[in-house]
């Protein structure tokens, strides 16, 4: 939840910078979006590093961060500053779609104590799976369809609808996390409990 909180702060800061860039910082508009994509990839990767139990899975995600960052730098220096390249975005969507599917598989294999719908990580993963898989083909065909009449309106409707559903599911994850903390606190044995004073048998009974 700490990593998720950091992600929320980054999104909020991005919106604060992104909105003025539409009218004031036009030349830096695409740079801000590209920078956000890199930060989003790194933060979400750290989120799943903290979730996965297997060291191999964690090492794979760390390597993926290194490869994606290297590709992001290469793509940034080899693309026009005034244009947005959708390829890094498509790569991000494909990576997290496959990673989250594998996380669900790993969760089913090793979780035997808590129902999946009671896990905050489950709802957070469902939210991002919907977001990345739902926008994958939208981003994939955006470069070739961006100049088509009416595409911008369709793009806005599809992207906004999926983003709203993602945010609703993320809120569900926060609510589930709050309820899970309450249940854990109720199940905790008090630290000041004196077990020496507990007498299950009546001492007055003679053998």
What is the Cα gyration radius of the chain? 23
Q: Which residue has the higher pLDDT, 73 or 149?
A: 73
At 62 the pLDDT is 95
100: pLDDT confidence band, cut at 50, 70 and 90? very high
Q: Report the candidate in 45, 37, 42 with the shortest Cα–Cα distance to residue 18.
A: 37
Query: 42, exposed or middle or buried, with CB in 10 Å at 0-12, 13-18, 19+?
Result: middle
- 3-state secondary structure at position 199: coil
Per-residue model confidence as pLDDT tens digits over 132-190: 999 998 888 887 787 778 888 888 899 889 989 988 888 887 787 666 554 444 444 44
Query: Where do the structural domains in the chain lie, given as residue ranges?
Result: 2-188
Q: What integer best gives the mean pLDDT of the chain? A: 78
Check if the beta carbon of residue 115 is closer than 8 Å to that of residue 123: no
Across 14-74, where does the E strand assignment appear? none
pTM: 0.76
At 68 the pLDDT is 95
Query: 3, exposed or middle or buried, with CB in 10 Å at 0-12, 13-18, 19+?
Result: middle
pLDDT of residue 205 exceeding 50, the answer is no
């Amino acid at each position: 939840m700490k990593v998720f909180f950091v992600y929320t702060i980054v999104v909020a800061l991005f919106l604060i910078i992104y909105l003025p860039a539409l009218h004031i910082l036009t030349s830096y508009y695409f740079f801000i979006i590209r920078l956000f994509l890199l930060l989003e990839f790194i933060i979400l990767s750290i989120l799943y590093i903290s979730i996965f139990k297997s060291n191999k899975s964690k090492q794979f995600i760390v390597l993926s961060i290194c490869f994606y960052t290297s590709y992001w730098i290469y793509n940034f220096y080899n693309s026009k500053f005034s244009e947005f390249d959708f390829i890094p975005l498509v790569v991000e969507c494909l990576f997290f779609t496959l990673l989250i599917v594998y996380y669900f598989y790993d969760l089913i294999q090793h979780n035997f104590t808590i129902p999946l719908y009671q896990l905050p990580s489950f709802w957070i993963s469902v939210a991002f799976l919907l977001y990345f898989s739902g926008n994958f083909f939208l981003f994939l065909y955006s470069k070739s369809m961006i100049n088509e009449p009416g595409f911008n309106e369709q793009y806005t409707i599809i992207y906004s609808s999926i983003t709203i559903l993602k945010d609703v599911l993320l809120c569900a994850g926060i609510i589930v996390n709050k309820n899970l903390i309450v249940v854990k606190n109720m199940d905790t044995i008090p630290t000041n409990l004196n077990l020496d004073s507990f007498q299950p048998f009546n001492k007055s009974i003679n053998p």
